[in-house]
C-alpha cells in the first residue's frame, strides 16, 4: 500500500512537537523551524541524516523494527503513537493484512453472538457498549441505550459516536467537554486508519466528516492518535443531568477488532445515584421492540427504534 503521504505527515507532525530542550539538546541561535531539525532526530535515532530524510518522505517499506524503535524514542512517541508507526510500516510492507483479521463489522451487517448480548445485559449498574474501531455502536445493554438516547434518536447518526460528535447538535449538550471529546474521537479514528488502511467504510466515514465538519477537518490534520483504554468523562444527560463516569475499554478476544466499553460511577456518589435514576427512567420507557433486542440483533440493528427513539425527547433536567 502506498501510504507515503500519511507517513510523511505523521513523522513531520511528531518532530515539530519536540523542542530541543525536551530532547536534551541545546536550542542554539537562529532556529527557523519549530521543534527538532531532521538532523537532530537522525542523531538521536543513530541513523544518517539522509536515511532519516528518506523515512520522513514516507518510505517505511523494509525498515527494521530496531530503526522504528529508535525513531520512536527520538520523537518521544507514546504507546499509541508507537503502535501507529508500526502499523504504518506494516501497511507499507503489505504485512498488515497478515497481522490483522480482515472482516467487515458495519453495524447493520454484524450480530453479536447470544452470550455476548447476555453479558452486556447482565451489566446493570452502568452503560456498556460494543464498538469497532470506526466507533460504530454494534451492541448495547438497556442502560446504554438510555444513556445514548440522543444518539439513538436520530437515524442519521447511524449509531456512530464520531458522527454524533461532529454532526449532531445534541452532542454539544451531552458532552460538556465537547472539544476534548472531538479530539479523542478523531485520534481514535486516526489510529484505526493506520491499523486498518483498507477499511472502505472507515474511509467513507472520514470523507463524510471531513466534508461536513470544519471541526473534524482541523483535528484530522493534526495526526494525533489515541488508545481508548481507561479514564473519566463528563456528560450531561437530558433526564438525570450531570454525570462524571469512569470507563474501561476491554478488547474482545473472540471478536478481533472489537471492544467493550463499560461506564461506572464511584460507589456512594451522586453519579451512582444518577445512573440508578437513569435505569429507573429506562425501565419505564421500554418499548415492545426491546423484546427483539434480547435475541441478539435489536440492541444494535433496532437501536434507533428502542429506548430514546419512539419516546419523546425529554426536557433537559
pLDDT tens for 79-104 read 999 999 999 998 888 765 444 554 44
Compute the distance between CA of residue 258 and CA of residue 251 in angstroms, rounded to an integer: 6
**pLDDT at residue number 109:** 66
With 70 as the cut, is the pLDDT of residue 70 above it? yes
With 70 as the cut, is the pLDDT of residue 304 above it? no
Residues 224-233, mean pLDDT to the nearest whole number: 89
Strands lying side by side in the sheet with 128-131: 137-140, 128-131, 259-264, 241-251, 230-237
Tens of pLDDT, residues 102-135: 444 454 567 889 999 999 999 999 999 999 999 9
Compute the distance between CA of residue 68 and CA of residue 249 in angstroms, rounded to an integer: 28
CB 161 within 8 A of CB 151: yes
CATH topology classification for 107-305:
Beta-Lactamase (3.30.450)
Which residues make up the CATH 3.30.450.180 domain(s) of the chain? 107-305
Average model confidence (pLDDT) across the chain: 85
CB-facing half-sphere around the CA of 83: CA atoms within 13 A:
15
Compute the distance between CA of residue 84 and CA of residue 99 in angstroms, rounded to an integer: 14
pTM of the model: 0.77
**pLDDT at residue number 96:** 55
* 206 confidence band (pLDDT: 50, 70, 90): very high
Compute the distance between CA of residue 13 and CA of residue 7 in angstroms, rounded to an integer: 10
CB atoms closer than 10 angstroms to residue 173: 14
Q: Which of 127, 148, 137, 142 is nearest to 239 (CA)?
A: 148
Q: Which of 181, 25, 11 is nearest to 89 (CA)?
A: 11
Q: Which class would CATH give 4-99?
A: mainly alpha
DSSP state of 62: T
Which residues make up the CATH 1.10.260 domain(s) of the chain? 4-99
Amino acid at each position: 500500500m502506498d501510504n507515503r503521504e500519511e507517513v510523511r505527515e505523521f513523522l513531520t507532525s511528531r518532530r515539530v512537537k519536540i523542542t530541543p530542550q525536551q530532547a536534551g539538546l541545546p536550542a542554539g541561535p537562529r532556529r527557523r523551524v519549530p521543534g527538532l531539525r531532521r538532523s537532530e532526530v537522525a542523531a538521536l535515532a543513530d541513523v544518517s541524516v539522509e536515511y532519516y530524510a528518506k523515512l520522513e518522505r514516507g518510505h517505511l517499506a523494509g525498515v527494521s523494527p530496531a530503526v522504528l524503535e529508535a525513531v520512536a524514542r527520538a520523537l518521544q512517541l507514546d504507546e499509541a503513537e508507537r503502535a501507529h508507526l508500526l502499523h504504518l510500516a506494516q501497511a507499507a510492507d503489505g504485512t498488515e493484512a497478515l497481522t490483522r483479521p480482515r472482516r467487515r463489522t458495519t453495524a447493520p451487517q454484524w450480530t453479536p453472538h447470544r452470550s455476548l448480548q447476555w453479558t452486556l445485559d447482565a451489566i446493570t449498574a452502568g452503560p456498556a457498549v460494543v464498538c469497532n474501531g470506526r466507533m460504530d455502536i454494534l451492541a448495547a445493554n438497556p442502560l446504554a441505550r438510555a444513556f445514548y438516547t440522543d444518539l439513538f434518536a436520530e437515524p442519521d447518526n447511524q449509531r456512530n459516536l464520531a458522527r454524533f460528535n461532529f454532526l449532531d447538535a445534541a452532542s454539544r449538550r451531552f458532552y460538556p467537554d465537547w472539544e476534548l471529546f472531538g479530539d479523542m474521537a478523531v485520534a481514535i479514528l486516526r489510529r484505526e486508519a493506520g491499523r486498518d488502511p483498507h477499511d472502505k467504510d472507515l474511509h467513507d466515514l472520514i470523507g463524510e466528516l471531513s466534508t461536513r465538519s470544519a471541526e473534524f477537518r482541523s483535528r484530522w490534520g493534526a495526526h494525533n492518535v489515541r488508545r481508548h483504554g481507561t479514564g473519566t468523562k463528563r456528560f450531561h444527560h437530558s433526564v438525570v443531568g450531570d454525570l462524571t463516569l469512569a470507563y474501561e475499554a476491554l478488547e474482545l478476544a473472540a471478536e478481533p477488532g472489537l471492544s467493550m466499553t463499560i461506564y461506572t460511577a464511584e460507589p456512594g456518589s451522586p453519579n451512582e445515584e444518577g445512573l440508578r435514576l437513569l435505569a429507573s427512567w429506562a425501565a419505564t420507557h421500554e418499548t415492545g421492540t426491546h423484546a427483539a433486542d434480547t435475541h441478539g440483533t435489536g440492541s444494535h440493528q433496532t437501536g434507533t427504534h428502542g429506548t430514546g427513539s419512539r419516546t419523546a425527547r425529554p426536557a433537559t433536567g
